[in-house]
Amino acid sequence: MELVHSGKVRELYADGDDIIMVASDRVSVYDVVLPTPIPGKGRVLTQLSLWWFGQLGDVIPNHVISATDVPSEWAGRAIRCRRLEMLPVECIARGYLAGLGLASYRETGTISGVPLPPGLGEGSRLPGPVFTPTTKAAAGHDEPMTFSEVEALVGRPVAASIRRATLEVYRRGAELAARRGVIIADTKLEFGLLPDGTLVLADEVLTPDSSRFWLAAEWRPGGPQRSLDRQFLRDWSAGLDWDRRPPGPAIPDDVVAATQARYQELYARITGGD
């Protein structure tokens, strides 16, 4: 199959008219891919994404064709998908203040042009989820976009549709996760269009590679929150003499095992299965 895109932790192949999205066991910390894989990570994230696509089927159609009709070497961590015309916008919904949303709030009191009340801090819950789109930069970092810029890029009707769909997917996901003790602080979605113009949810959905997951029981607004999946890696790497630039350090066996267990726990907790 023809490799059409290689990301930090995933690959995209073309197979006739379809595409096959393959999740690897690679993991990144502070945006650097580490040389040691986390066995089973690609499978857990793929299965979690598939579970969410199923849960969200009544909110919006998705690109999944089959989770099983994939080459056997990728079984469990690949999805056959409809090839879409992808929209050039990273669709982010934020329900809590962290990352770039926090940085923007501190500078301007707004995120993506949406004014927020004073007095919020790192990890605070927002009065309501906010759509904070960014550009899809080919290289380097994504830049925040205003809603008007999204409208100019994709047209007003599609802009309104992706904002509505992004906030609805986030609301539904966050509500479901909350019932299981998990906070989804924010999430990044991608959408595409079918030839007939139908808007379709693509990429991966509500996985820890596209979202921030916190344990509700550990939530303490006013400082950085513990990442449900990656905290072991962050805590371990913080104790190293590493400047957070590539190449990243090899991960010791006990940290691999602990990280593996966290991904597995996250899946079981959210889906109620194992």
Give the C-alpha separation, 197 to 220, whole Å.
43
Tell me: does residue 7 bind ligand PZK (CB under 6 A): yes
Q: CB-wise, 92 or 202, nearer to ligand PZK?
A: 202
Other Cβ atoms less than 10 A from the Cβ of 155: the count is 11
How far, CA to CA in Å, does 23 sit from each of 39, 42, 71, 85, 207?
12, 5, 13, 21, 11
Binding residues for ligand PZK restricted to 172-201, rule: CB under 6 A: 192
Q: What is the nearest approach in angstroms of ligand PZK to the Cβ of residue 173?
A: 18
How far, CA to CA in Å, does 30 sit from each of 38, 230, 243?
16, 10, 10
- Binding residue for ligand PZK, selected from 27, 38, 84, 154, defined by CB under 6 A: 84
Q: CB-wise, 123 or 133, nearer to ligand PZK?
A: 133
- Binding residue for ligand PZK, selected from 20, 45, 81, 256, defined by CB under 6 A: 81
Give the C-alpha separation, 141 to 135, whole Å.
9
Which helix (H) or strand (E) segment is 77 a member of? Answer: none
- Binding residue for ligand PZK, selected from 203, 232, 251, 255, defined by CB under 6 A: 203
162, two tokens = 């992706």
Residue 113 is which amino acid? G
Q: Which of 116, 90, 91, 89 is closest to 102 using CA atoms?
A: 116
Q: Which stretch binds ligand PZK (CB under 6 A): 10-18, 51-59, 96-104, 164-172?
A: 10-18
Tell me: does residue 87 bind ligand PZK (CB under 6 A): no
Give the C-alpha separation, 163 to 51, whole Å.
22
Q: Which stretch binds ligand PZK (CB under 6 A): 4-12, 67-75, 174-182, 228-236?
A: 4-12
- Nearest to ligand PZK by Cβ — which residue? 7
- Binding residue for ligand PZK, selected from 41, 43, 77, 83, defined by CB under 6 A: 83
Residue numbers at the binding site for ligand PZK (CB under 6 A): 5-7, 10-12, 19, 21, 63, 81-84, 86, 192, 202-203
